[in-house]
Amino acid sequence: MLRGSLVAIVTPMTADGSVDWPAWDRLLDFHVSEGTDGIVIAGTTGEAPALALEEVEELTRRALLRCSGKLKLIVGAGTHATSSTVARTRALSRLGPDAVMLVTPYYNKPTQEGLYRHYSTIAAAIRLPIVIYSVQGRTGVNVEPATLARLAQIDTIVGVKEASGNIGQMANVIHEVPEHFHVLSGDDAITIPLIALGGRGVISVVSNEIPGPMTELAQCCLHGDFVGARAIQARYLELMNVNFVESNPIPVKAAMGLMGLLDPVYRLPMCAPSAASLAKIEKVLESVGLAGSVSVAG
């Protein structure tokens, strides 16, 4: 079951731009200790487009060694082309994650029929569970509810990260797909309504900063305690919002740097936030008591 709060984990990097492997191991341990329900490797927040396949494989291997059996592990494997997605998915599937997450092909702008053929072709090539990642703001194309309903009939396509930000569309998706199909929010701030509508949880950016509270928020919703969930959301809503003051993952990495969780290093074309954005991030962290609050480094 893919449910609760699954962190769209950042990829820590060193000053020379290589992956910071000791920091990665510490972040994995941090999420296990904080009760995160799952980790999504090499998603948007993990700077997936800038990662080589060999790096994603090593990120996955280390996560499996440290976290297997403790939480769900999903790895991003989508590309802009069906053939390369099949190849990448096969390579990562051999490592044994719980599922793969496949973003809709970006730049191409396929039709709904093209999207159906894309995902059904990949599903026919592998046996690992597939989570579709629908994020029109990044890819230029939306996966319509009717298309998700068709894809949900394929046994190995088990869920969707719905990041349209459109509550009406989310409601339609949940109405159209079978009950066993997992609909996960791609936006922290609308986790509560998504679960209230019948969704299963969130693939979360803010869980990089507050994994414990986000897990609690999701579990409150799943158990019908929306009063408790709203109290958590009220405390951290500004943090959820400031994580998008610039393109993700620029703000969340900056915030984690201020918290002492990692060195805030990016790969081009991602770069450090502006001074104005950094000031906003620091102000929000201070307002919720997080500035310099955690240290898993060193």
Which one is catalytic: 116, 119, 161, 236? 161
CB atoms within 10 A of CB 83: 11
Q: Is 119 a residue of the active site?
A: no
Q: At 151, is the secondary structure helix, strand, or coil?
A: helix
CB atoms within 10 A of CB 79: 20
* 193's tokens: 């309504």
Q: Which of 292, 237, 269, 290 is nearest to 50 (CA)?
A: 269
Using CA atoms, how far apart are residues 238 and 82, in angstroms rounded to an integer? 38
Which one is catalytic: 133, 236, 266, 280? 133
Q: Is 283 a residue of the active site?
A: no
- Alpha-carbon dihedral angle through residues 112, 244, 225, 213, given to the nearest 10 degrees: 130
Residue type, 78: G
The answer to whether residues 233 and 192 touch, using CB atoms and an 8 Å cutoff, is yes
DSSP conformational letter for 137: H
Distances in Å between the alpha carbon of 260 and those of 23, 255, 291, 292?
11, 9, 8, 6
Catalytic residues: 133, 161
